[in-house]
Structures are given as structure tokens and as C-alpha cells.
A and B are shown apart, each in its own frame.
Chain A
Amino acid sequence: MRAMHPLNWLVVIAWLAYVAIDGLRRARGTKHIEGYFLANRDLPWWAVGLSVMATQLSAVTMIGTTGQGAVDGMRFVQFYFGLPLAMVILGVTIVPFLHGAKVFTAYEFLERRFDAKTRSLTAFLFLLSRGMSCGTILAAPAVVFSAIFGWPLGWCVLIMGVPTVLYTMIGGVQAVTWADVKQMVLIVVAITAMVTVLLVRIPVSPSDALHLAGATGRLRVFDFSFSLKNTYTFWSGVIGGTFLMLSYFGTDQSQVQRYLTARSVDEARSSLLISAYWKIPLQAMVLLIGVLVFVFYQFEKPPMLYNPVQEQKVREAQPAALASLQSRYDTVVAARLDAARAVSAARKAGDEAATAATEEFRNRDSVATAVRSEALALVEKTTGQQSKDVNYIIPRFVVEQLPIGLAGLFIAGVMAAAMSAIAAELNSLATATVIDFYRRWYRKEASDAHFLAVGKGATAFWGLFAMVVASYAATLGSLIEVVNRFGSFFYGSILGVFILAMIPAARARGAFIGLIAGMAAVGAVNFGAPQVAFLWHNVVGAVTVVVVGMLVGMVGGNQSLPATTPGNGQR
């Protein structure tokens, strides 16, 4: 593998230094917890909106989703089809509730509306799942960089983790938001530059390139089949995706805290609409990068295995088997190159010739894919690990094929995506720790300086926790998976509790019992019908909570409502 040019590293280092130093500079003015956690509710809508997008877009998007585009095409974009509608619904429901209630956390609102145990349980579930996910968000790019550049995993974790923890801890939400704005700009520039470079470097016209991608099904965006088993269909995206996005943007503190910093309810709404307008086109561009990389490798010799560490292990353990597969792969890839060139020539000649040439190209690509699948099976058999080769396609392409400067820009973009997602999560984890637990249960009265110090300590703690989880990502693999799986049990259920909070007739007991019932229902679906795609879990959880919550509330009779109930004045 080719090493990165020093100039690329200069770009990466300069960017990391710029973000960290500017973040630290933003520490000024954060002397009170309102400033540290909520930027005195005085941030402009566009900065909040870009921060919302940057929080959602992690390094997994930049390396995993692009890789998915290369092997699976564009259909993953359906996952986001529910997002615009969810943003509009949130703009008139949860956003005015939370912003108007002047809370620090979404869970704080639940105590005002219901009771302390509902608040504590939802906040605890948030800390558990986000604490772990913070580690995985950091681990994903660190593991890939470690394999690509041959550095120890711990160093890769520290390079991204330390500057992020520093500026988040010292600068609070101000630093996080303004860093997110810069990170988001860099990410968009990097994505646009990648698409442009790919279109220039592919030796056929953009139309021919898309035709080749389309011939292998990679431009098939829509799947209208109504199957609960398929994860990405139009319907799971529109229905399940809407529930998921309502949960994520409406009840997850890592997102709620972004728009609580906006100047007004209207500005908070506007910030969410940036995602409503731009998320699907941006995600389509991300997937298009992968599709174009696939086309690029029709004309350049592609690696059979993209993960250099696993390739080395197989080479040492099974040299003959690997050499045989490599030889078959080289032959079929050469044949596929001829077929791709023939398609381009035939399209100029006419429809009939193009159809035959396309068919031939498709057959040869199927053979190449089959040989690669055999190689991946050999990797899994030899190493005993899932290959996850898809995550290495784009980083290898970047390091080996992009011109000087642009490779550094893209690597900086991946780091930016990881850092902005982690920063927002650390910031929200610290806020929930201090507001929902420390101040609520341990020390109700203290000076702002005290809570500020505890907030900084909590940020440092969660940052350290994330870096430890990320450093042991390989060992903790199954544990992280369990926690992530468990996380999906309560996402829709927490949304159900917030929906109940907006129904005047709902009662505290109903909300708590409904939450437990919702999680149990999702658990039952998960274990009883594992073939049901996870996007539907959110629908099951939310609907169960609302139905059970209302039934329990009705059985429990007319209890008096807390002061902030929507039915008695507080909006």
C-alpha cells in the first residue's frame, strides 16, 4: 500500500489544530451553566442547523456509507425518506414544548410533566446507550485508520479523541456548535471534491459511467415491496424512518441540546429544516461517491481485499488459497475491463449493440463479485472475524488514488465527521449527568461555578470512557453490539413517552408503565420475530407506549396533573 504524501498529513494536522484552538478560544463567555450547556440560548438558526447535521453525520457515513454505495448502490438513501416529514412534525410539537419549557434536557421536561422516575429512567437509558455509542463512533474510523496507516489503534483513538475532549470540555456547547459549523463545511467540500475528481478520472463519459453502475443495479434507489424483512424499502424508510427520526431528533439529548441553544422557537424550527431540505441530497451524494468508486475500479485494477491487515493475515496463513483466488480475480477483472470498454463503445454505436455489451459486462461483474465473496469467506474462516471489508474501500481509494492535498482533505473530513459527532454526544452526556442526576439527586443547591466544574469533569469522564471503549473496540465487539441492540429496544419507546406528554389526558403512572411495556414489546419482536427489520421496532415501541400508557391512565382515574401539563396553561 502507498503511504500518504507529507502534504496530505500537513492538511490533516493543520485542520485538527485549527478546530482544537478555535474551540478553546470559544471558551470565553462560558462562566455559567446556561452558557456552558445552552450557549445562553443565543445561537443563530443556521449554526444550530449545521450542528444538527454534523452531529448526525459521523465518520461511519464518510467511510461506511460510501463503501456501502460501492458494493450495494444507492438504495440505503431510502432510510432517510421519513426525515423531512419528521422535522416538520417536530417543529410544531416537541420543539415548542421543550424550547418553551426552558429546560436543559429533554428528560427534565418529563419530570415536570410526569414524575421523577420517568425522567430518571429515560435519562439513564440515554447515558447507557450514548456512552457506548460514543465509543463506537470513535472506534469506527480509528480501526480503519489503524489498518490503513499501520498505526496502533490507541494512537488513532487519541489523535481524534484528545482534541475533541479538550475543546468540548473547555468550551462547552459554544465550542461544539462552532466547531460543528466548520466541520460541516469541510465535509461538504470534501464530498463535492470527491465526486468531481471521480467524474474527471473515470475514463468514460459521466453518462457511460452511470450506465455501467446502473447495469449492476447500483442506481436502483427505490424498493416498493412491502416486506417487514427488508431493512431498506420505500415503506420502511417513510414509516419506520419517520418514527426513528422523530425519536432521534425529538427525544435524544444529543440532538435536542442542539436546538435548545437557538434564540427562539422559530429559530429552533428553522435549524431542523436545514436537515429536512438537505439530508437526502447530501446522503445521495455520499452514496454516489461509492457508486463512482465502483465504476472507477472497472478501469483501474482494484484490490481483491481492501483491508490490508486481514489480507496480510490470510497471506501468511493460507498463501496457496489466496494466490489461487487472486489469480482468478485478476483474470475476471481483466475480462470485465474489456467488457466495460465494449459497453462504452457500443453505446455510441446503437441500442442493440449496447444491450448485448451491457449484458456481457453484467455477467463478468457477477463473476468478479463471486470470486471476491469467496475471498471474504476465506478471510472470515482464517481470522475468525467478520471481514467488514466494505469500510476499507473508500479509505484505500483515497490514499492510493486521490491527488496530493485532496487525500488529506478527505481524511480530515472523516476525522471532522467523527469529532463533531463525538463532541455533541460528550456535551449532551455531560449535561444529562449534571442536570438529570447530579443536580437532581445529589446536590440541588450550589453555585454556577460548582456545576460548571462538575460539567467539565463529566465531559472529561465521558471522553475518557469513549476513548477506553474505542481502544478496546475489538475485544468489546460483542458487548458493544449487545448494548447497541438493547439501545434499539427503547428508542421508539422513549418517543412514545414524549407523545404521551403532549396528550393532556395522559398520566405519570401510565407513562412509566407504558415505557416498560414498550421496551418489552420491542424485545419480544426482536427475539420472537428477528426477521422484522429494526426500523419497524421504533413503530412498535412508540405505539405500544401510547396505547398502554393511555389505558393505564384511564384505569388509574383522574389524578391531579403537575403544573406544566399542557392542559393547564404551560406551553
Chain B
Amino acid sequence: MTEPNDDSPTAGRFRRTLVRVMSVQVVTLVLLWLLQHRFSR
């Protein structure tokens, strides 16, 4: 989007970073959900 001359490296890097960050977030949210599920019944 910001560097049209190297769109594919930027897009690729964005995808990789997005996947990494969101994976970590999903793991965090699952742990928080487990905490809620295990102790809030």
C-alpha cells in the first residue's frame, strides 16, 4: 500500500507478521478463556 515498487515483499511481510501476531493473540485469548471456563462455572 505504501511502497508500490515492492508490493509483494510488503504484502508478504504483512501477511507473515499478521499471522504471527494473531496466532499469539489467539493463544492468549484461549488461555484467558480456559481461565474463565475452568474457574467461573
Residues of A in contact with B (beta carbons under 8 Å apart): 74, 77, 81, 84-85, 87-88, 91-93, 96-97, 100, 210-211, 213-214, 217, 219-222, 269, 273, 276-277, 280-281, 284, 502, 566, 571
Contact = CB atoms under 8 A, between A and B. Distances in A.
A92 B36 contact: no
B39 A88 contact: no
A221 B36 contact: yes
Contacts of B40: 214, 217, 219-220
Given A92-B10, A210-B39, A213-B39, A566 B32 contact: no
B36 A219 contact: yes
Given A93-B2, A211-B39, A219-B35, A273 B21 contact: yes
Q: How large is the interface on B (under 10, 10 to 19, 20 to 34, 35 or more residues)?
A: 20 to 34
A210 B29 CA distance: 18
26 contacts: A74-B35, A81-B25, A85-B18, A85-B25, A88-B21, A91-B14, A91-B17, A92-B10, A97-B2, A210-B39, A211-B39, A213-B39, A214-B38, A214-B40, A214-B41, A219-B35, A221-B32, A221-B33, A221-B36, A222-B33, A273-B17, A273-B21, A280-B28, A502-B1, A571-B2, A571-B4
Interface string B1-20: 11110000010011001100
Given A84-B25, A214-B39, A273-B21, A92 B2 contact: yes
B24 A277 contact: yes
A276 B24 CA distance: 9
Contacts of A280: 25, 28-29
Nearest to B10: A92
Interface of B: 1-4, 10, 13-14, 17-18, 21-22, 24-25, 28-29, 32-33, 35-36, 38-41
A222 B32 contact: yes
A87 B4 CA distance: 21
Contacts of A214: 36, 38-41
B14 A92 contact: yes
A85 B23 CA distance: 11
B10 to A, nearest CB: 6
Contact of B1 (A88, A92, A222): A92
Nearest to B28: A280
Given A213-B39, A219-B36, A221-B33, 7 more contacts: A85-B18, A85-B22, A91-B14, A100-B2, A214-B38, A214-B39, A222-B33
B28 to A, nearest CB: 5
Contacts of B3: 96, 571
Nearest to A218: B40
A221 B1 contact: no
A53 to B, nearest CB: 15
Nearest to B25: A84
A74 B17 contact: no
A322 to B, nearest CB: 34
A76 to B, nearest CB: 12
Contacts of A81: 25, 29
Contacts of A210: 35, 38-39
B3 to A, nearest CB: 6
Contacts of A571: 2-4
A93 B33 CA distance: 32
A277 B20 CA distance: 9
A560 to B, nearest CB: 21
B16 to A, nearest CB: 10
